[in-house]
A and B are shown apart, each in its own frame.
Chain A
Amino acid sequence: SQTIHQWPATLVQPVGSPLSLECTVEGTSNPNLYWYRQAAGRGLQLLFYSIGIDQISSEVPQNLSASRPQDRQFILSSKKLLLSDSGFYLCAWSPDPGYGYTFGSGTRLTVV
């Protein structure tokens, strides 16, 4: 069966520090991958999505970037974190466009 792993679960980082969040999917190949951010008590904002290696689309211009170095690995990065980057970051995958998403357990990021 397919599983999605996301780490770390929680992270406290100072303003201006770099960020790297990793997400991996097991048990499937060529998944569609997504990064969402959820601010406290708010909805989910789509940040990036990828339909294949080196095929990444950005939805929101900001100081975050995403990479997909391997088929089942999706990484969210920042060179310098801002206070406004705090939130709950969720990785998700789907087998094909139009299918339901399976979310990872998320990373709670607090920028201090």
Chain B
Amino acid sequence: GQQVMQIPQYQHVQEGEDFTTYCNSSTTLSNIQWYKQRPGGHPVFLIQLVKSGEVKKQKRLTFQFGEAKKNSSLHITATQTTDVGTYFCAGSNTGNQFYFGTGTSLTVIP
């Protein structure tokens, strides 16, 4: 299957600091999705990006799709303890099935 890599694997930040996770694909993607998984929980869909260079915002979260549609990023401004969890990107080159990245586990220190 498709390879989607994410960095970093772990990130510890002080509450109020910013956080960014990066997603890279070996092939051009048609769509990329982002999910959040709280500890002990299941992934929850956050957003989908489909256009080259697309930027979408959800409150303190900013999602970006690269111009070449091979990479994406999620940036959280001024992290809060409620942001704790693992963030996954999931890419598809057909739009039918999505391949998940390895995830970035975010710890927010109060």
Q: Tell me the A residues contacting B by CB distance below 8 Å.
A: 32, 34, 36, 41-46, 49, 51, 57, 59-60, 90, 97-106
Contacts and interface: CB of A to CB of B under 8 A. Distances in A.
Interface stretch (B13-21, B69-77, B88-96): B88-96
Contact of B45 (A42, A43, A98, A101): A101
Nearest to B92: A98
Residues of B in contact with A, size category: 20 to 34
Contacts of A43: 6, 88, 100-103
Nearest to B30: A98
B44 interface: yes
Contacts, number: 61
Q: By CB atoms of chain B within 10 A, which of A41, A43, A59, A98 has the most?
A: A43
A45 B103 CA distance: 12
A8 B103 CA distance: 25
Contact of B31 (A41, A51, A59, A98): A98
For the complex of A and B, 6 pairs with smallest distance between CB atoms: A100-B45, A98-B95, A44-B100, A97-B96, A103-B42, A43-B102
Nearest to A43: B102
Given A59-B97, A105-B42, A106-B42, A100 B48 contact: yes
A43 B89 CA distance: 10
B1 A59 contact: yes
Contacts of B79: none
A92 to B, nearest CB: 8
Nearest to A99: B48
B42 A104 contact: yes
B34 to A, nearest CB: 9
Nearest to B31: A98
B107 interface: no
Given A49-B97, A59-B1, A44 B88 contact: yes
Contact of B98 (A90, A101, A102): A101
